[in-house]
Homo-oligomer: A and B are copies of this chain.
């Protein structure tokens, strides 16, 4: 029997011990009317060989050319050692480290992870992960509402240049708690939010301001001015950042005079494969003073009964398994293995390596932009600096162009016009070229885009 080790003899002995005549009898407390005899709608089982073949056939349907899509998930080089070590049975098949003495491996690793994230963002403390970037922001918003004692409005301002899926996720998750999300429009010219726009809220009770950096269009927000505004108005600042960009961009802990209060984001760029959107991991960090409002697991360094250093889950009183309905969050299972991989990734790449990754992403996307905007009718949608993603305006509808690029084995970015009323007429294409792209890739993309536009326009 697949994965069940019982021999006939085992079964008989066990049934005798229990004192029943058959396995069915073990279910005799379930009302008869409810019991089913077999599962409908499930095909017959297959051997591992047949399933392997099936899955390779399916995988072959997903074969793809060069990917220039970013928009929240980024193709980066992942050193082979990362998943080789993370996939060791001792990491992969361990449970949540509630039994600290039997989980020092995972616990120490998570403590190292917390340290790396806190240092990367210049924040005081990090938790041990949330689900993903968008849901991490939702948790950050809930956390800000709990943490900001000066504000009673539960009003959150969000820059309109935030990833639209993040905004939707935040809305789905905080909706029921009477939290109001106000979206600040971005400048149609710059694709970023002009801090002056915030003047409209000068007189209001604002709980927090959410600042993405870089924003959805790859553009760079005026983080210092925005943070200053928030702090001047007793609002907390929530930073949503790309961790790779942190190698070159000012980190949240340095924003404004006193730094962002909470910084979160998507951990995927740190060694996690694209894999259709997950499992990734959300990270969240904050100032020390807010640590008791932090959601999710936190590892602390302590000592054992011999005074030897060890690690264990701490501040558990924040969590659902202790605090139940009064917990800071309902999160329980998080993204442990992804964080394991990310920790190994960060150790391997080092900050120096991360900086080279960031610089190559920057260089490739800028080179791509310059190649593409040499094509007549193609131009930048916004002005201003950007990191590794750029929004372009095409001379015709985006979808048919993308279809043509597909035929040339290019996933040429995404059509972002549908996301914004203000971009509906704009034929807006968002492209990204990470360090994984060669110059030949960029040139090929430009050639094919030219050709596609030629036949479409």
Contact between A48 and B88 (Cβ–Cβ < 8 Å)? no
A52 at the interface (CB under 8 A from B): yes
Contact for A77 among B49, B80, B88, B438, CB less than 8 A: B49
CB neighbors of B among A365-379 (8 A): none
A79 at the interface (CB under 8 A from B): yes
Q: Which residues of B contact A435 (CB under 8 A)?
A: 49
Give A441 Cβ to nearest chain B Cβ, in Å.
10
Give A436's nearest chain B residue, CB to CB: B49
Question: Per-residue CB proximity of A31-52 to B under 8 Å, as 1/0?
Answer: 0000000000000000111001
A53 to B47, CA, bound (A): 33
A72 to B266, CA, bound (A): 50
- Return the 10 tightest CB-CB contacts between A and B, nearest first: A49-B77, A48-B79, A49-B436, A48-B77, A48-B80, A88-B88, A49-B435, A52-B77, A47-B77, A53-B438
Q: Which residues of B contact A49 (CB under 8 A)?
A: 77, 435-436
Give A438's nearest chain B residue, CB to CB: B53
Residues of A within 8 A of B (CB): 47-49, 52-53, 77, 79-80, 84, 87-88, 435-436, 438
Q: Which residues of B contact A80 (CB under 8 A)?
A: 48, 52
A77 to B54, CA, bound (A): 13
A92 to B79, CA, bound (A): 18
- Beyond the given pairs A48-B79, A49-B436, 11 more chain A to chain B contacts, judged by CB atoms under 8 angstroms and listed by A's residue number, are A47-B77, A48-B77, A48-B80, A49-B77, A49-B435, A52-B77, A52-B80, A53-B436, A53-B438, A84-B87, A88-B88
Q: Which residues of B contact A438 (CB under 8 A)?
A: 53
Q: Which residues of B contact A436 (CB under 8 A)?
A: 49, 53
Give A80's nearest chain B residue, CB to CB: B48
Give A76's nearest chain B residue, CB to CB: B49
Most buried by B among A49, A52, A87, A88: A49
A436 to B51, CA, bound (A): 11
Give A108 Cβ to nearest chain B Cβ, in Å.
18
A79 to B52, CA, bound (A): 10
Give A81's nearest chain B residue, CB to CB: B48
Give A434 Cβ to nearest chain B Cβ, in Å.
10
Give A102 Cβ to nearest chain B Cβ, in Å.
20
A52 to B78, CA, bound (A): 10
Give A441's nearest chain B residue, CB to CB: B53
Give A251 Cβ to nearest chain B Cβ, in Å.
25
Please, could you name 13 A-B residue pairs with CB atoms under 8 Å apart, sorted by A?
A: A47-B77, A48-B77, A48-B79, A48-B80, A49-B77, A49-B435, A49-B436, A52-B77, A52-B80, A53-B436, A53-B438, A84-B87, A88-B88
Give A47's nearest chain B residue, CB to CB: B77
A48 to B435, CA, bound (A): 12
Give A360's nearest chain B residue, CB to CB: B49
Give A77's nearest chain B residue, CB to CB: B49
Give A52's nearest chain B residue, CB to CB: B77
Q: Which residues of B contact A84 (CB under 8 A)?
A: 87
Give A85's nearest chain B residue, CB to CB: B89
Q: Which residues of B contact A53 (CB under 8 A)?
A: 436, 438
A47 to B77, CA, bound (A): 10
Give A240 Cβ to nearest chain B Cβ, in Å.
27
A87 to B81, CA, bound (A): 12
Give A65 Cβ to nearest chain B Cβ, in Å.
12
Give A88 Cβ to nearest chain B Cβ, in Å.
7
A394 to B88, CA, bound (A): 51
Give A356's nearest chain B residue, CB to CB: B47
A77 to B50, CA, bound (A): 9
